[in-house]
Structure 1
Amino acid sequence: QLIPDYGDVSNPDVRAKYGYLEAGVSIFGNAAMFAVKLVLGIMINSISLIVDSFHTLSDTGTSVVVLLGFKTSKKAPDSEHPFGHGRAEFVATLVIAVLLVVVGLTFVLSSMERMIHVSPVEGRILIAVLMIVFAVVKELMARFSIILGKKIDSSTLIADAWHHRTDAFTNVLVAVAIVGARYNYYMLDAIFGMAISALIIYTGVKLAKDASDRLMGKTPDENVLKNVKSAAKSVGGVKDVHGIAVHDYGVSKVISMHIEVEKGISMEDAHNIATRVEDSVKTNVKAEATVHVEPHGKESINRAEVEKNIRDIVMKCENVVSCHGVDMVFNGCSGVIEFHVVVDRHMSVDESHDMIHKLIYQVQKRYPQFKVHAHVEPKAG
């Protein structure tokens, strides 16, 4: 239990602590490996090991991206970001994914160069052994990142794990090249390099696609939709659920949905059912929900036909410029009709008041089972 409330991964502060832990371990691990590689490189006079030590030190850059991503994502909502800053994690994932693709392409170029211009790779077996040891350490760091990433469902930590893994592959390639050179298999590192490059590029592209999809509002996983529907249907009085929309903000999710209830129940009962559904979704899915209530069963009135008839009635009236915002709430064969009427901006208040009442009367006469509300507004100009 290195993190207080470590199980409450829906808490932005706790999620950030997971991110800080992973980044801290990565920075410490890379700094320690840099020091060891540098000292050993100087002791055995190995230029390649000294160069690789500075490459390891540069890997702390992705850990900085992780830190910044989680630091931003835990910020509280503000006027410009009313749903919080959770998507900063997706941006961090995208940055790391791009870095992975760049590393993969670099591997491709260096591997092709080795295939075209085969040259012996000099090195001691001691260095090869050290590279394998460093590869094991980097793989352990990768697995640690994956464990934390899966715990809080963070693509950022998974992406950083793959960055650690690419370094492990690099160290293994150096070891393979050194051993292969001793037995005149100079192409081994190039062949292995091409295969690993393809894996790294594929992983980077996949992570980038996943992060981009979540930033652009991709349809959520089927299991999420099932959980939302199950949470809603567990509330008594809910006959059916449809129109589920999930807005993923990383740390938080905002859900809107439509539920169907019995046609004859009162508005108060329907409102109470909707409130219980919102509570159920919040408890079971860890998301805020907005619930729209509809009567169960097929509407007995054609919505499109009603809207057309209302527009026809309104547009026959003198001084009317346009009609918009026609909305209907059905409850079987009855309900509420609401619409907006735009009139000439020079029309007086008295005239507009009389006109809107005549329109309400005409619509009410056409649809006596409905309550009618109309709003008048002047034409902009």
Structure 2
Amino acid sequence: MSAQHGHTSHDGTHDHGAGPHANHGHTHEHQQRHDHHGTHGHPHRHDTPPSGASRLRHRLAHLLTPHSHETADKTDPALEASARGLRALWVSLAVLGVTAVAQAVVVVLSGSVALLGDTVHNAADALTALPLAVAFVLGRRAANRRFTYGYGRAEDIAGLVIVLTIAASAAFAAWTAIDRLVNPRDVEYLPAVAVAAVIGFLGNEWVARYRIRVGRDIGSAALVADGLHARTDGFTSLAVLIGAGGAALGWRLADPIVGLAITAAIALVLRDACREVFRRVMDAVDPAVVDAAEHALRHVPGVLTVGELRMRWIGHRLRAEVAIVVDGALSVRAAHEVAVAAEHALLHAVPKLTAALVHADPAPAPGVPDPHAPLAHHAA
């Protein structure tokens, strides 16, 4: 029955051809490196040297439309996603750094403990960008014989660190509020404290929106969680502002009471961050993505039905493993051709999918033994 099976497996680059490939061990990118001699896949002709006008046109083309002569240098969607994630981290780190410095100046002038706590929160939020940046850089490393799926899981580990940081922020906010209830304090320079609180809120909310948007665009649960962390610090800044307003009206307990309310808000954000990160760690995917993959596979010519379909996130990269059922009379080459077409359909139908393994099973036939019977005793 070996002639009735075909499968295709890739680890990061994909063969999008529709026909069979005699040397399937080479991915599309690897094969191009062997036969790519010119730009955009067009080999240069060496029988006649290019004229001066041709060389000039070529240089102008480079200036107006930059491109690479090396296939390895062409844009990889997964690497581009990592670059976007890193860019979001560095931009938000700069914004939060400026915010924390501005608040620290007011803390020195006013002696506001509430604003000090907010400043510490902002500094901690800025620093959470560092482990996540390390995870993005580490995730770019190629898979090897020890880490056969690559290093994308580092991003999920960074997400766990961020969740723990949000939890610590909630605990710190609660402790600060309770301490202020027990030991009320007067705050000086209330207008300056209010301005610093507004700066903290606006800076954190801008960073939160930016991180969450980019994180959802590239499929990074860790970056979304980091954005939610920035939002918790924005809530803390808002608490400082409301507390300063209450203090200005002579209500000394305004700051701690609002602080407790903001602690509850941080707990709600923590719940959302936990859901984002732990679902990713447990290999959860949106059921709508699975539905889209099955729909695409069922419309591939030669696919009779879709068997087992599994999908998982590794960092911000999505992988799939699927078994399709094909006509049992097909040759190995023809079955492989259907499998390649099925993978091609998946890559177009599922955003952020970077790798798929497709296995072709023969359709059951009367009098033909089950080809998976030798595996039956291994079933759970």
TM-score by length of structure 2 reads 0.69
1:22 paired residue number: 88
1:221 paired residue number: 286
Q: Mark the CA change 1:250 to 1:216 in structure 2 (over 3 Å): closer, same or farther.
A: same
Q: Please tell me whether the aligned partners of residues 241 and 258 of structure 1 are also in contact (alpha carbons under 8 angstroms).
A: yes
User: By how many angstroms is 1:119 displaced?
Assistant: 2.0
Give distance in 2, aligned partners of 1:112 and 1:52: 15
Q: Mark the CA change 1:151 to 1:38 in structure 2 (over 3 Å): closer, same or farther.
A: same
- Cα-to-partner distance string for 1:307-366 (whole Å, 9 max, x where unaligned): xxxxxxxxxxxxxxxxxxxxxxx54421476898xxxxxxxxxxxxxxxxxxxxxxxxxx
Counterpart check, 1:112 vs 2:178: yes
Give distance in 1, aligned partners of 2:304 and 2:261: 54
2:343 paired residue number: 278
Structure 2 stretches lacking a partner, 5+ long: 1-65, 68-73, 375-380
Which of residues 98, 101, 113 in structure 2 aligns to 1:35?
101
Which of residues 107, 110, 126 in structure 1 aligns to 2:192?
126
Q: Please tell me whether the aligned partners of residues 101 and 205 of structure 1 are also in contact (alpha carbons under 8 angstroms).
A: no
User: By how many angstroms is 1:244 displaced?
Assistant: 0.6
Give distance in 1, aligned partners of 2:372 and 2:77: 41
1:333 paired residue number: 367
User: By how many angstroms is 1:267 displaced?
Assistant: 4.7
Between 199-208 and 94-103, the greater mean CA deviation after superposition: 199-208
Q: Which has the higher strand share?
A: 1
Q: Mark the CA change 1:292 to 1:38 in structure 2 (over 3 Å): closer, same or farther.
A: closer
2:157 paired residue number: 91
Corresponding residue SS for 1:59: helix
Correspondence list, 1:64-213, <5 A = 64-115=130-181, 117=182, 119-123=184-188, 124-213=190-279
User: By how many angstroms is 1:208 displaced?
Assistant: 3.0
User: By how many angstroms is 1:234 displaced?
Assistant: 2.1
User: By how many angstroms is 1:18 displaced?
Assistant: 1.6
For the pair shown, which has the larger CA radius of gyration, 1 or 2?
1
Q: Please tell me whether the aligned partners of residues 219 and 317 of structure 2 are also in contact (alpha carbons under 8 angstroms).
A: no
User: By how many angstroms is 1:30 displaced?
Assistant: 2.6
2:21 paired residue number: none
Q: Mark the CA change 1:134 to 1:254 in structure 2 (over 3 Å): closer, same or farther.
A: closer
Corresponding residue SS for 1:237: coil
Counterpart check, 1:290 vs 2:352: no
Correspondence list, 1:201-280, <5 A = 201-218=267-284, 220-280=285-345
Corresponding residue SS for 2:128: helix
Give distance in 2, aligned partners of 1:228 and 1:337: 26
Give distance in 1, aligned partners of 2:349 and 2:246: 56
Q: Which has the higher contact order (CA 8 A, sep 6+)?
A: 2
User: By how many angstroms is 1:23 displaced?
Assistant: 1.9
Identity of aligned residues (%): 24
- Cα-to-partner distance string for 1:147-173 (whole Å, 9 max, x where unaligned): 211221211221221222222222221
Q: Mark the CA change 1:273 to 1:185 in structure 2 (over 3 Å): closer, same or farther.
A: same
Q: Please tell me whether the aligned partners of residues 38 and 50 of structure 1 are also in contact (alpha carbons under 8 angstroms).
A: yes
Q: Mark the CA change 1:24 to 1:229 in structure 2 (over 3 Å): closer, same or farther.
A: same
Between the two proteins, the alignment pairs up a number of residues equal to 299
Q: Please tell me whether the aligned partners of residues 237 and 273 of structure 1 are also in contact (alpha carbons under 8 angstroms).
A: yes
User: By how many angstroms is 1:103 displaced?
Assistant: 0.8
Give distance in 2, aligned partners of 1:336 and 1:102: 56
Q: Mark the CA change 1:168 to 1:210 in structure 2 (over 3 Å): closer, same or farther.
A: closer
Give distance in 2, aligned partners of 1:289 and 1:50: 50
Q: Mark the CA change 1:110 to 1:85 in structure 2 (over 3 Å): closer, same or farther.
A: same
Give 1:333's aligned amino acid. G
Q: Please tell me whether the aligned partners of residues 94 and 207 of structure 1 are also in contact (alpha carbons under 8 angstroms).
A: no
Give distance in 2, aligned partners of 1:336 and 1:182: 81
Q: Mark the CA change 1:114 to 1:46 in structure 2 (over 3 Å): closer, same or farther.
A: closer
Q: Mark the CA change 1:110 to 1:141 in structure 2 (over 3 Å): closer, same or farther.
A: same
Q: Mark the CA change 1:167 to 1:230 in structure 2 (over 3 Å): closer, same or farther.
A: same
Give distance in 2, aligned partners of 1:106 and 1:226: 43
Correspondence list, 1:315-326, <5 A = none
Aligned Cα root-mean-square deviation (Å):
3.0
Give distance in 1, aligned partners of 2:279 and 2:76: 21
Corresponding residue SS for 1:290: strand
- Cα-to-partner distance string for 1:231-261 (whole Å, 9 max, x where unaligned): 2112112222121111321243332222223
Structure 1 stretches lacking a partner, 5+ long: 297-329, 341-381
Give 1:82's aligned amino acid. T
- Cα-to-partner distance string for 1:182-221 (whole Å, 9 max, x where unaligned): 2233333333322321232232244234323322333x21
Give 1:89's aligned amino acid. E
Q: Please tell me whether the aligned partners of residues 19 and 66 of structure 1 are also in contact (alpha carbons under 8 angstroms).
A: no
- Cα-to-partner distance string for 1:266-322 (whole Å, 9 max, x where unaligned): 5543332222112222333234222233344xxxxxxxxxxxxxxxxxxxxxxxxxx
User: By how many angstroms is 1:229 displaced?
Assistant: 0.8
User: By how many angstroms is 1:91 displaced?
Assistant: 0.9
Give distance in 2, aligned partners of 1:9 and 1:202: 39
